[in-house]
Amino acid sequence: MSVLSGKKIILGVSGGIAAYKTATLVRLLIKAGAQVQVIMTPASKDFVTPLTLSTLSKNPVYSSFFNEEDENALWNNHVDLALWADLMIIAPATANTLSKMVSGNSDNLLLATYLSAKCPVYFAPAMDLDMYKHASTLANFHVLKEFGDTIIPAENGELASGLSGEGRMAEPENIVAFLERDLESKLPLRGKKVLVTAGPTYEAIDPVRFIGNHSSGKMGYDIAKAAANLGAEVILVSGPTHLDLKHPLVQLERVTSAQEMYDACHRYFNAVDVAVSAAAVADYRPKNVASQKIKKNEATFSIELEKTKDILASLGEIKTRQFLIGFALETENEIEHAKQKIQKKNLDLIVLNSLNDSGAGFGKPTNKVTFIDKNFLVEPMELKSKEAVAQDIVNKIIAHYHA
């Protein structure tokens, strides 16, 4: 999965011959999983048609502040466009457009959107050799870098004038690769290893029956995905669940029982920086597992249970540098019980769920949690989607390493 997947990208196209390459660029961005909104300067339409870029981006292409053919049409709001974007690319960025970006001359929709952008801005210069080397162009590069914009350097090659040298817009494949490398280098969890447990465990009674619970595993899977999306290398140890997660930074290991999950966690724990115990692990298991299916012969039936190993407590006993996060599902005296778990299991943070809160608990798309850290700082959160809660948990990890 590309780091561009899910990103909302504005592609600004200015009027240079290299504009013909933007068709390929749009196609590659879409292939990487991005959403693309194209804004063209009026001059760029002489080099590539809006219809081409609209078809490839699957979005209407904007090039003016209003639809001149429809006097009743709403204006194209450059502020809304700018706020929509996760990042903005101006390619090709001609000498004329670069000059306007520096001076703040917003005489077209693309420049007005650029001036309104709050997101990271990348620009790929394209012009002839002498123009590229001119002192005014070099000065503009310097100013734009001071603005916080990122240059995608031009390449050497044959130019429209017939000369050969620097000034050729970077090839679309290289632009995409540059964006991916730059974004990956800035991911806050890059270089960190995170262990996440998810789902229930099933404790066998016989070859057919088991003791389990209603955990769907969604919370743990969402945490794993959120951490991986921010650059972490994630090991996801999952109990039985219908969920799946395909991500180049996620190693998924499926287990069934509490003992299998215990073994997997201890196999990986020493090598990780963070462990998040989101699984609903069985507290007890049958002491004796029947080798054959138990027949229904008696009116009553008893199973002797024994305690399973406490995975989280065992990790707390051996942790050295790891940031250890646990979950607590309570129905009464929630805060006090959660604080006791922090001390007993040597946790850095606990995520408290209360079954008394509407919208929280197993099998629901939402969750309402309270964060309690090892200093007993209590931070109640509002009801959110599990994806949003996962992001809040990952933000706690980021805050720990960037405090």
DSSP string, 310-370: -HHHHHHHH-SS-EEEEEEEESSSHHHHHHHHHHHHT-SEEEEEETTSTT-STT-SEE-EE
Under 8 Å CB-to-CB from 124, ≥6 apart: which residues? Answer: 89, 90, 91, 92, 93, 151, 152, 154, 169, 170, 175
**Pairing verdict, β 274-277 and 210-211:** unpaired
pLDDT at residue 362, rounded to an integer: 64
pLDDT digits (tens, 9 = 90+) for 48-105: 999 999 999 999 999 887 666 655 555 667 888 999 999 999 999 999 999 999 999 9
Better-predicted residue by pLDDT, 301 or 251: 251
Burial of 1 (0-12, 13-18, 19+ CB in 10 A): middle
Give helix then strand counts, H and E, for the chain: 13, 21
CATH architecture for residues 8-185: 3-Layer(aba) Sandwich (3.40)
User: What percent of the chain stands above pLDDT 90?
Assistant: 80
In which band, very low, low, confident or very high, does the pLDDT at 361 lie, cut at 50, 70 and 90? Answer: low
How far, in Å, CA of 403 to CA of 392, rounded? 16
Question: Does the structure show a pLDDT above 90 at 296?
Answer: no
In tens, the pLDDT along 393-402 reads 999 999 999 8
Predicted pLDDT of residue 381:
92
Residue 356, pLDDT > 80, answer: no
Whether residue 109 contacts residue 44, with contact meaning beta carbons closer than 8 Å, is answered with: no
353 is catalytic: no
User: Which of 213, 229, 270, 333 is flagged as catalytic?
Assistant: 213
Q: What is the pLDDT of residue 347?
A: 97
The rounded distance, in Å, linking the Cα atoms of 194 and 272 is 6
Contacts of 307 (CB under 8 A, 6+ apart): 283, 284
Torsion of CA 228, 234, 240, 246, to 10 degrees: 50
- Evaluate the omega torsion of the peptide bond into residue 248 and state whether it is cis, within 30 degrees of 0: no
Q: What is the pLDDT of residue 68?
A: 60
- b/e sequence 350-368, b meaning 16+ C-beta within 10 Å: bbbbbeebeebbeeeebbb
Q: pLDDT tens digit string along 106-162?
A: 899 999 999 999 999 999 999 998 899 999 999 999 999 999 999 999 998 887 777
Residue-wise pLDDT for 303-340, tens only, equals 999 999 999 999 999 999 999 999 998 777 889 999 99
How much helix, strand and coil, in percent to the nearest 5, is found in the chain?
35, 25, 40
324 class by beta-carbon count within 10 Å (0-12 exposed, 13-18 middle, 19+ buried): buried
Q: Is 300 exposed, middle or buried (0-12, 13-18, 19+ CB in 10 A)?
A: exposed
Listed by start position, the domains of the chain span 8-185, 193-401
Q: Are 367 and 328 in contact (CB under 8 A)?
A: no
How many angstroms separate the CA atoms of 279 and 219, rounded?
Answer: 9
Superfamily of domain 193-401: CoaB-like (3.40.50.10300)
Evaluate whether 8-185 and 193-401 have a shared fold. Answer: yes
> What pLDDT is recorded for position 366?
84
Which residue is it, tokens 């109640």?
380
pTM of the predicted protein model: 0.80
Q: What are phi and psi of 103, to 5 degrees?
A: -85, -15
Instruction: Copy the structure tokens of residue 340.
Output: 């006791």
Of 137, 172, 180, the closest CA to residue 155 belongs to 172
10 Å Cβ neighbour count for 140?
22
**pLDDT at res. 119:** 95
Q: Is the dihedral of CA 209, 215, 220, 226 positive or negative?
A: positive
Distance CA 220, CA 386 (A): 9
